[in-house]
Amino acid sequence: MKAAPLPHSSPKTMSPYAALNPFILTSVGENDLWNSAAFPDVPYIHSVPFGALKIAVDQVRAQRRSQVRFVRGAGGSGKSHLFARLRRECADSIFYAYAPNPPLQPEALENFILSRFVSSLRHPARGKDGSESPYSQLRLLAYALLKPVIEQELTYPELHEAWAGIALESRKELIHQAVQLLEAEHPMVPRSVLRCLLNVLREDKEHLAAQWLSGAAYLTENELKFLGVPEPLARGEMGLVIQLFGKLAAQAGSPVVLVLDQLDLISTPPQFDEMQRLLFTLIDQSENWVVLIGLVAERFAMWDAALTQALRGRVGVPDSNAPLGFRLPVVDMLPIANEQKRLLLNCRLEAPALLAQRQKDGITSTIHPLLDEDIARLTAGGAIFPRHLLAAAAEAYATRTLEAPPVQQPKEVVAIVTAPAGSSATPPPVSAKEETAPVAVRVVEEATEAPVTAPVLVPPPAAAALQAAAKTPLAEKIDALLKQAVDTAKADASAASAIDLGERARDLIELMVAPPVTISEGDIRKSYDNFDGADRWFEWGGGKMRVVTSDAMRGSLIAVLERLQDATGDTLLLRHAVAPVSGQLTMELLNTFKAKNTFHHVAGSEAAVLAALGHMLAAQREGSYDQLATEPPATKDHVLAALRNHPLLRGLRLWELIQKIHAPKQPPQTAPTASVLASIVNPAAKPVTATVVKPPPVPGAKPSPPPPTSMTAARPAASGVVTKPVARPPTPPATRPPVAKPPPGVPRPPAAKLPPPSQGNTV
């Protein structure tokens, strides 16, 4: 693969390639996962772990017995890429759900899994060739339930076309028959669940039915009436719906692949207990599930130590050397070797836009604008993870496409010699042959006998400066990633739940507050089992505030507001904009709450920014940004600092309210209390904060000396400066004339003895 000569090596010719860097995307985001057909993939890389996952899917399809696999690998090893490949390769033979970054509250896990599961099923189904179908996975599941009623052998695409031509009344009758059939097969499932599941086939009800099935608590009375259900899905029924989805998918002949990714924050015993309970439910009370748990190595060690013997016996493999006698089924993501590196680089260099640009310029090299030596340097050395290779390739590509004149450097750097005094410091001229030397030069010669690994290539100073200049500023990179995540969140048809909103509020506070933050749970959930959101206290910098999220309607919202009536100005109630507030009693309670505290309706655009923040923080914890070629390097502290200073986050209305509530409360400006003596002499005297009133002149008395300048910093009001409050001196009793001061030399009469305050004189 010889690089063609570069007749067009001027900056003007190279500049079009700078914007076509095919190595910029180093990880698979959630948006890429759902559009995995367009994502570049090398099937040879990670073929062994992919084969293990494929075998698990085939076993569940054949046996319907749920299975669990732990996908273990470092950040950048390709776990998310493997999950995307599984969805693409299995095409229409699976139902696929992706649920990353679960909430921290154990009791919210079921609600989170259900909402993410239904949200995933609303993405388009895939055909056998991998192309997207004109209907969602959720509608495909409903078609599978409808087929026994149709009593015809139709494929799903054919059924979709036929359904569009059926009259509305006929559709209602078919749905009613399907509900009756499902009730006979699943008598323990509420009729409202089955009705909403089949209402997905009604274009006018599909969106609302999906929201109801996901556990949304913000549906109005009219919307519930339109769906034909009495109330939102109860919390106690969510686990039942999850189990039902597995059984119904089994009837459709396709296993459910549930990917639980980015579980780095699952670390406490209550969280592990709830996760085990969910897995027990999918194994013992449901069927047809393939649960894939993505973990980095250190987190897997915590799971390995926390899981009970009962669960290990259900999902593990007998092994006398393993803890509790069972070895967990682990699929390891290994680094890639040199040949795999070359395949990955070639795959990216064959991007359609890059191929078109080369064809336009008449360049035949398949690696242009890279050179052979770049490929040799990138593929040399030991095995590394794919993301690390892509980050290094992105930097090399940017260096080659940098708009700068060719750098003149010698081919070999042998030694640095200080010129003697009096000699010329001008270096010898560089030949034309040396002008075209590669920017990387060999500084260590290869041994002739001993085996040598990769040659050490060190760029000379000028080339190093070019590489440094080619690095993207970290703030600019973070800005691009954040905006991309915001666009992805806006494209999501499902609104974030109140639990998600609470998690994102926690993320925002932990990011923006520099000192450590102490977080504790509130008490709403302790007294109200059907609480749909989050309730947390945050304490930092000597202040404390409470954040409550709830999207509930009617009685559920009233129950939440009743529990917040004692809040004294330190509570922020958050609610998504899709959840309206209505009802006389609800408005009365809300107005009472707002009299002392703060209520914020989070707009959809603001919720998208918060969702993007949660995605980026989870990716950072997984090490997704460690290998970015940026300046400064994308370390954890640098990434968090770039996010903390981003105007999109600092300008959030939520952050402004958090700062306002947490700000130290100014004590009320009370007037100074009168002294004991003043209250005795004149009990009616009151402190005054107005201008100082001078006492009436005393005949024969000498004028009092002026007070020090520091105590009389009186300035005119016109200058905008206000004097300090000064208490008015006690007014002499009206019944007594002023007593003149005795002349000098005359002894002062003895002062009257006053009783102490304990003898009846109170202040």
Residue 69 vs residue 34, higher pLDDT? 69
Confidence label for 740 from pLDDT (cuts 50, 70 and 90): low
- Topology annotation, domain 27-124+255-336: Rossmann fold (3.40.50)
| Cα–Cα distance for residue pair 120/393, rounded to 1 Å | 33
Three-state DSSP class for 258? Answer: strand
Three-state DSSP class for 536? Answer: strand
Residue 58's identity, in one-letter code, is D
Q: What are the sequence ranges of the domains in the chain?
A: 27-124+255-336, 133-254, 342-406+438-445+454-470, 475-662
* pLDDT of the residue at 749: 52
- For range 510-516, the mean pLDDT: 88
| Cα–Cα distance for residue pair 705/729, rounded to 1 Å | 16
Model confidence pLDDT, tens digit, residues 560-569: 999 999 999 9
Three-state DSSP class for 617? Answer: helix
Residue 751 pLDDT > 50, yes or no? no
* pLDDT of the residue at 721: 43
Both structure tokens of 297 = 């190595």
* pLDDT of the residue at 70: 96
Residue 107 vs residue 50, higher pLDDT? 50
Confidence label for 154 from pLDDT (cuts 50, 70 and 90): confident
Residue 241 Cα to chain centre, angstroms: 27
| Cα–Cα distance for residue pair 245/253, rounded to 1 Å | 12
Model confidence pLDDT, tens digit, residues 88-108: 888 889 999 999 989 988 888
| Cα–Cα distance for residue pair 46/83, rounded to 1 Å | 11
Model confidence pLDDT, tens digit, residues 248-302: 899 888 999 999 998 888 889 999 999 999 999 999 999 999 999 999 888 899 9
- Name every residue whose Cβ is closer than 8 Å to that of residue 753 and which is 6 or more positions away in sequence: none
Confidence label for 629 from pLDDT (cuts 50, 70 and 90): confident
Both structure tokens of 556 = 């559920």
Contact of 591 with 565, CB cutoff 8 Å? no
Both structure tokens of 156 = 């799903």
Model confidence pLDDT, tens digit, residues 451-506: 333 333 444 444 444 455 557 899 999 999 999 899 888 887 677 789 999 999 99
Model confidence pLDDT, tens digit, residues 101-142: 899 888 889 999 999 999 999 999 988 887 888 999 999 999
Measure Cα distances from 89 to 76, 337, 734 in Å. 21, 24, 101
Model confidence pLDDT, tens digit, residues 540-552: 988 999 999 999 9
Residue 737 pLDDT > 60, yes or no? no
Three-state DSSP class for 752? Answer: coil
Both structure tokens of 478 = 């973070």
- For range 44-59, the mean pLDDT: 95
First to last CA, the chain: 97
Model confidence pLDDT, tens digit, residues 366-377: 999 999 999 999
| Cα–Cα distance for residue pair 686/730, rounded to 1 Å | 9
Q: What angle do CA 555, 116, 210 make, to 5 degrees?
A: 60
Least Cα distance to 431 among 462, 405, 408 occurs for: 408
- Name every residue whose Cβ is closer than 8 Å to that of residue 215 and which is 6 or more positions away in sequence: 111, 114, 115, 232, 233, 235, 238, 497
Least Cα distance to 252 among 94, 126, 62, 96 occurs for: 94
